[in-house]
Structure 1
Amino acid sequence: DILHRIRDRWPCQVLVWPVVVQGEAAAAQVAAAIRGFNDLPPEGPVPRPDVVIVARGGGSVEDLWPFNDEALARTVAASGIPLISAVGHETDTTLIDFVSDRRAPTPTAAAEMATPVLAELRAGLADLSGRLHRSGGRLVSDRRGRVETLGRSLDRVPDLVELAEQRLGLARNRLAAGLSRNVGAHETRLARVAGRFQPGLLSRPRQAQAERLAALFPRLAPALGRSLALSSERLAALSARLRSADPGAPLARGFARVHRADGGLVRLGAALAPGEAVRLVFSDVERGAVIEPPPGPPRQGDLF
């Protein structure tokens, strides 16, 4: 039944692994067949099947009992190839029905689950091909209509260009007239404003400023003199303070400055260590010196 149904629906290669389907050896043989199909290499001399059908006709509970075997159920669950269980008829149920990928009520139904109908696929492909051709025809027709419409529009290009030239000429004339009117209006405004610009308008403010300056000068000269005298006095005082703060002034009176080797000014003699080199700055030259240790206390018998 399975072979006839497959041949009618989808002619393909079917591998049959003969096993006993009832009795004590049935479970082990069916499990070995399932493992054997899974062990076939995909590109080997015997092609690895795409789906496995475990099938037998109906029978009593005792006849179908091998398909309740635990080891067989575990083999079915571990199969890497999709497996359809088609053991018995619709009312028959075995343990492998629950661990298989699909359960078929009859072996014929298993063949229908595993294969499509070739005639239906061909009809579907023919329908899709017809729809594709019709869609392509409508697309081509639509594009042809659009091209024809655009072609008719191209015939009006000279008219469109002429209309654009007319609009451009009208705008150019309006622009020239507008510029002329604008220039005339500004010229009129400039003439009205120019009439009010007389030499006297400029000379009168200048003359008024000169009169104000002449009136302020008698009072400004004494104030400037007093300010200049005050500034001279302040400058003389600052010069005197500057001369008093001049570090070189005491040198002319016989004093000298003491500098360390790094140039720092020595303010206290206690800050100098014995043997330290210093520089003595006089009013005319500089001389080097070395700090001597302080003298010790006088000893008994020393002369003073």
Structure 2
Amino acid sequence: MPPPADAEALLQRLEWTVIRRLDGLLHGDYRCFFRGPGIDLADLREYQFHDDVRHIDWNVTARMQTPYVRVFNEDRDLTAWFLLDLSASLDFGARIKKQAVSAEFVGVLARLLTRHGNRVGALCYGSAVDTVVPARSGRRHVLHLLHVLLSRPAGRPAPTRLADLLDHAGRAIPRRALVFVVSDFISAPGWDAALARLALRHEVIAVHLSDPLERELPDVGLLFLEDAESGEQLFVDTHDKAFRKRFAELAARRGEELRGSLADAGVDALELSTEGDLLDALLRFAELRELRSRASTGGGTSGRLAAHIEPRARTAAEGGRP
């Protein structure tokens, strides 16, 4: 079902169907999603895998001849920014459009954050960064943000340069923040380097939007395929098994390359499919973040917990159900 055009109706639906259930399952604790920038030094400990190298204390490391990192008390107040790719390729979906999934994700996360007094803002990219929503708090601000998203016209065919959005964010966001990059990552090359630069200063989470038809074509006979970015059309025969196989292989290869680029940039990734369930995807992502947080603070993970999380981690990466 596509989201309602009215921002209030959409937010009310999300509050009842996703946010309320998410609160119950997480017992109101949203720390596994995002962490505030710590400001008070709490302790020093030996470096462990997945620790942020920016927290290495080089003086202690030199004295002890082994890497040590600083551990900070968390400051729960934070500012979050949504970098929203709203280019033409987001206006696609077999059942619902990727842009509708983007709006639902923004509504849920923005409301979770603002209820705790945090501020959220957004940079919107069509063929350029054309809209900036300043970071503010409160439910009315979330409604304003959703109204901006829902009232935008469909994107016009034009090459997407995601690097422009990421570089603009690097200049426009003055202090360390939590940054969600919400995109299908169908873009001209160069965005991965820009993403890595952004992640050096901010905590970045990449939210990858996808549709099943982008991974596998059904057998429906002759049809036109149109590139939403360029407007180019191609006449294909989906009865051809060899063609469908090549299409699926290319899509799988692109998916692997995308996951590798996100990992190289040092950002966490959340996969959202137009056929998936937003609540399930957020819960899997929360489990992965919590597991990583425990590992990075030296808390360790029992074998039973690891066995429980690992298969769900794979399905989270695939955007499906466990």
Shorter-chain TM-score range: under 0.3
If each structure's strand is expressed as a fraction of its own residues, which one has the higher value?
A: 2
Name the larger-Rg structure.
Answer: 1
Given the two structures, how large is their TM-score scaled by the length of structure 1? 0.22
If each structure's helix is expressed as a fraction of its own residues, which one has the higher value?
A: 1
Given the two structures, how large is their TM-score scaled by the length of structure 2? 0.21
